[in-house]
Every structure is written in C-alpha cells, then in structure tokens.
Chains A and B, each alone.
Chain A
Amino acid sequence: MNPPPLPERPDIYFTVAAFLLAIGIFGLLRRRTLIGMLISGELIFSAASLNLMAFNRFRAPDPAVGQIFVLFLMGLAAAEIAIALSIIIAVYRNYRSVKTRELSELKG
C-alpha cells in the first residue's frame, strides 16, 4: 500500500514539534539576555501547541477540544509575555542592563 501524502502523516508534525522544543531549550540555555530567553520560551510554547494540534487532528474523537485548548494556550502565552516584559522593564530600570550575568544581586 502507498504511504499517505505528506500533510496526512502525523510523524512529520511530531518531528517538527520536537525540533521546536529542542531549539527552544538550546536558546534558553545559550542566550545571555532576558529577552532572548523569553523568545526561546515562546518557541517552546509553539512546540507544545503544534504537538496538541497534531494529536487533535489525528487521534481526538472531538476535534474542537484541541483547538480550544490551543486557543487558551495562546491567551496564556500573551498574558505571560505581558507580565514578563513588564518585569524586564522594571529590571532594566533598576540595573541598567538585562544581561543575566549582571543580575546577581538579591535584596533580602
């Protein structure tokens, strides 16, 4: 029997999602500023969304559930971005830098 056409194969979506997660974690470990780490975190969010959508397409009995879940995930990612960027602005106002190496003081 012939293999199904490319957009109908779930393993391709899973491979892309795994690649997005891996490159997000690579950037999270390697970046030296807070905003770069935030962008890598967004890549990890995208990997999770793509994985959920692929399972929703191929395995879910009710295909509306996965789409609604990913919609909520996007809303939470937007809220997280708003909070994280305001924290970054506050940190920059105190330290004049957002490099993770220089943010080494704690105030107890």
Chain B
Amino acid sequence: MIVGAIFLLCIATTVVGALIAALTARIIRSVCGLMICCIGLAGLYYFLHSPFLALMEILIYVGAVCVTIVFAVMLAEPEEGVRDEKRGATLLWGGFALLVSAAIFWGLWHLGARQDWTAPVTRVNDFSISAIGKSLLTTYSMAFELISLALLVAIIGALAIARTGRTKP
C-alpha cells in the first residue's frame, strides 16, 4: 500500500518535472524542472531494483549536469521573455509540436504498453552492485576505458572551444 503510494509519487515527480522543464518560459525554472524530473527518475530506478543507478542519476544529473547548465544560464542570459514574433505563427508552431509529440506518445504507448511483457525469463546473474562491478572490470573493461577517454576528450574539447574568441575585445 505505502509502496504503491511512493511509486505513484515518483511517477508524479517525474511527469511534473518534465512538464515544468518543457513548458515554462523562464530557462532557470526549466533547469529546476529537469532537476525535479531526475529526482523522480532516481526513484523509478530504485523501484527497478537498481539503487546504484538511482544514486548515480542524482549525482551526475542533479549534481553535475544541472549545475553546469545553471552556469551557462548565468553566462549567456538566454531569456525568451518578450514576444518578438507574431502570435499566430507561435500558436501554429506550438500546435504542430503538440501534434508531433502526441503522435509519438500514442505510437510508443500502443507499441509498448499493450503487449504482454510478463513472460518469465531465466536469469544468469542478479541485480547486485558486485555483479555490476565484476562485469565492469571483466567483460566491459574496454568500454569502460573508452568512456573515460571520451570524457577526457570532451573536457579538452570544451576548454578549447570556449577559449577561442576570448582574445577579441
């Protein structure tokens, strides 16, 4: 009973956070909506038997990604505030976006939620963190090293891109 209530709370947090992230006019509220959505997603990961990824979701998304976006908001002032376009065109484009996203949602829901996914599977492993650690250091060690290399290249590339143009007045 209370487990079901907490589960519904996680789903509501995710959905409301995503709505705030996509619909508000101010960018900083949108970033806060992304944070709320990621906290709800961490709860859903916990219900999917993966507390490790729930912690990682909060650590990486809320702690790193959203804070980095807040830094960019501070540096670049991306306010959408004043309407500099015609109202009719904005409404038309919003209606088109709503139509496209509703079609995608209906199609995926029809595809995914209408099937019967409950057939039992034979598991060769469990959900524990030690199983993840063993797999990371044996089967997926190459991909693990490559992801660290990709992160290093991304950091160096970000520094190089943000540095150019600084010498101009």
In the complex, what residues of A have CB within 8 A of residue B165's CB? 90, 93-94
Which partner residue on chain A sits nearest B96 by CB separation? A29
In residues 6-62 of chain B, which contact A (Cβ within 8 Å)?
A: 7-8, 11, 14-15, 18-19, 21-23, 27, 30-31, 34, 37-38, 41, 44-45, 47-50, 52-53, 56-57, 60-61
Q: How far is the CA of A6 from the CA of B7 in the complex (A)?
A: 8
Q: Are A43 and B60 in contact (CB under 8 A)?
A: no
* Interface majority SS (helix, strand, loop, mixed), chain A: helix
Interface size grouping (class) on chain B: 35 or more
The reply to whether A30 and B93 contact each other, CB–CB distance below 8 Å, is yes
Among the interface residues B49, B64, B78, B135, which one has the most CB atoms of the partner chain A within 10 A? B78
Residues in chain A near residue B127, CB distance under 8 A: 63-64, 67
Interface size class of A (residues with CB under 8 A): 35 or more
User: Would you give the 0/1 interface string for A28-49, flagging 1 where the beta carbon is closer than 8 Å to chain B?
Assistant: 0111111110111011001001
> Which secondary structure dominates where chain B touches chain A?
helix
Q: Quick one: CB contact mask for A75-108 with B, threshold 8 Å, 1 for yes? A: 1111111110111111011100011010000000
Given the interface contacts A22-B102, A46-B37, A63-B49, does A16 sit within 8 Å of B136 by beta carbon?
Answer: no
Does A35 lie within 8 Å of B53, measured CB to CB?
A: no
A-B contact pairs, 25 of them (CB 8 A): A4-B118, A10-B117, A11-B115, A13-B44, A14-B112, A18-B108, A22-B105, A25-B101, A35-B69, A35-B73, A36-B80, A40-B22, A46-B37, A53-B45, A56-B50, A63-B49, A64-B125, A65-B135, A77-B61, A78-B60, A79-B153, A81-B68, A85-B71, A87-B161, A90-B162
